[in-house]
Chain A
Amino acid sequence: MKYRYANWQEYSKYIADDHYYYARSCIRQNFFPGSEKAFLDILRNDLGMDITEDPRHTTCTGIGYHSDVVPLETTMAIVARQFALMTECGYENYVASCITSFGIYSEVLDMWHHFPELEAKARENLFKATGREFHKPKILVHTSDLMFHVREKIAEKGVRRLVNAATGEPLKVVDHIGCHYAKVFPKKGIGGAEFPYVLAGMVEAWGGQSVDYPERRHCCGFGFRNYLVQANRGYSIANSKKKFESMAPYQPDFIVSNCPGCAMFLDRWQFTLNAMTGSNYAIPSLTYEEMAGLVMGIDPWDLGLQMHQVPVEPLLDKLGVQYDPAAKYLGKNGKFIGQPVAPAIYNPAAL
């Protein structure tokens, strides 16, 4: 079935074809360590794009800012420094790997647009502290925007499609869009906030079927105050529970998210809910880079899929991916990296 929101183009934005300065996420390399590498490998090596990064770049302060421990002026100065690094590298297009960073950059640029005195102050603070100056990016996109932009090229170069290798049926994919992607500025998200197309577009281009489930727009449970404050963590898992209850009847083959925390919480909380409530959730939760990596034929263990709580093997089998089960917990150097002591028993058939 074709994605039914035919008017997603009403919310589209200009995405430059090439030459990007890349800013990593603070947490993604811990949560899903292969994703950012897969993004760079696919875009640079397979598609020949010019993406650069600077090891001097830091957090955008997003988590601290949204937790009220970093003041706005500090956030603006650090954002200014990120832009200064981009300027020093000779780039004008900025691609952020983290949804919250994308939200922070969008928000800061919007504030500077409406309150130029804030921009002047940020420039002054940055110069006093570091002697740096900067140009604002001409293009600001999230990495999922850029991957959406090249989705057809990936489809052309891919070695498989998101279909059941045995039946030829498209896999059913539920997506979850990070709140800071389009809920802050709907016009800055492909497809807007209500019927986002950025991930559904990739799913469709690569042969899968996007499923619009009722709680698609609901928070995944990663809301910063929901999990950073331990006493609030019940809110976090309650949100995730709503999501799983809503998507489970569609029997999705996997979840795909474009936010660092969403992919993590939608993966880990399934185990927790199963332990707490006796449910049997076992829906693999992928990042869009992991989804692209599978399409491009990257080895699942190079993609970091062994770091998922929910076993991905049933999905790999559906896709017809060849993998070495014995290599799952071996590092790139061949050494054993450890494995869960008591892996949860999942029963996808009971969904």
Chain B
Amino acid sequence: MAQERILVIGGGVAGMQAAAALREEGFSPLIIERSSKTGGHVAQWDRLFPTQAPAQAVIDELSAASQGIESVTDCEITSLTAADGGVTAVSAGGDRYEGRAAVVATGFDLFDARLKEEYGYGMYENVITSAELEQMFRDGRVAMKSGEAPKRVAILHCVGSRDEKVGQNHCSKVCCITGIKQAIELTEAVPGVQVTNFYMDLRAFGNGYEELYRKSQVENGVTYIRGRISEAGETQDKRIQLKVEDTLVGRPLRMTVDMLVLLVGMRAPGCCSSFGLETQANGFFAPRDPYTGTVASSVPGVYLAGTATGPKTIGETINEAVAVARRIKRDLGE
């Protein structure tokens, strides 16, 4: 009997792991990736919380596991239909892909920080996103636009998360610990730098997170101030003047930093509204059941894995990607 083809839409860590697991279950997966290579957001990252292990190690492991699996890149799927015991995916260029089932592993988009105009991203040269800071870590050089090393850095949490004004009411889950990790790495990359995190709540929920939060304060001297920055302005020497209320002491404060890092949240990508699947209030795909059907969609033959259903850690994503293969095996066997 010929192996049944399963479409895996998205070649990030969820898609790579799902494809590997599907092959182990006896299927013939096809990864369809919208960008020019697989690896997704993780491939753009330097090191990972909470152990500061290199992100590349995860990518290398998943690449090895998915070696030889057929894949298509530079192909963005814009519609997905399920009928007659199969699914059909159509790309923006009109290419059609058919399979017995499909795993939607389309992940997330980073929030566009320009929408929070008050922080001046895209306007002020020393306001950057957490993703851009990660790129600096990868390049081995953290510097202001002028080339100088920053002496004071502010990290602002919840940019595009828990924010009704920009239609992003959900928590992006991983930013708190990312802010802690990046604060530590800043102190390692730039000796003597003073790092201040501005947060509304610190949600250090995972194994090792609270310990990292404590370490950042005790060993790395990172400061945490509870309060949202209300406004950033650029000074004449291209530094960033911040206005913020310290909500623990109930006082407004102003400070000037050399660099402002915006911890951008996860937002639902455009495909969430074009695949015809049910979505949640946060815009991400809705699982069939939030307890026992987390990797199934409401449409038979269409499955979900990873951050397609909302913000998740890499570990959670990998677990879902393994589970979705098992689920497909069971459903198709029936």
Q: Identify the A interface with B (CB < 8 A).
A: 4-5, 7, 192-195, 212-217, 246, 249-250
Contact = CB atoms under 8 A, between A and B. Distances in A.
Interface in B15-63: none
Contacts of B233: 212-217, 246
Contacts of B236: 249-250
A194 B234 contact: no
Interface string B117-144: 1101001000000000000000000000
A230 B120 CA distance: 36
Interface string B223-263: 00000000101111000010000000000000000000000
B241 A194 contact: no
Contacts of B117: 192-195
Contacts, number: 25
Nearest to B117: A194
Nearest to B236: A249
Contacts of B120: 194
A5 B231 CA distance: 16
Nearest to A216: B233
- If over half of A's interface residues share one DSSP class (helix, strand or loop), that class is named, otherwise mixed; here it is loop
Nearest to A191: B117
7 contacts: A194-B117, A195-B123, A212-B234, A215-B233, A216-B233, A246-B233, A249-B236
A192 B236 CA distance: 23
Contact of A214 (B118, B123, B241): B241
Most chain B C-beta atoms within 10 Å of own C-beta, residue among A5, A194, A250: A194
Interface of B: 114, 117-118, 120, 123, 231, 233-236, 241
Nearest to B237: A249
Contacts of A212: 233-234
A323 B120 CA distance: 42
A246 B233 CA distance: 10
Contacts of A250: 236
A5 B234 CA distance: 13
B165 to A, nearest CB: 10
Given A212-B234, A217-B231, A249-B236, 7 more contacts: A194-B118, A214-B235, A214-B241, A215-B233, A215-B241, A216-B233, A250-B236
A5 B241 CA distance: 18
A39 B18 CA distance: 68
A217 B118 CA distance: 10
Contacts of B241: 214-215
Given A194-B117, A194-B118, A4 B235 contact: no
Nearest to A4: B123
Nearest to A186: B117
A6 B57 CA distance: 41
A215 B241 CA distance: 9
Nearest to A5: B123
Contacts of A246: 233
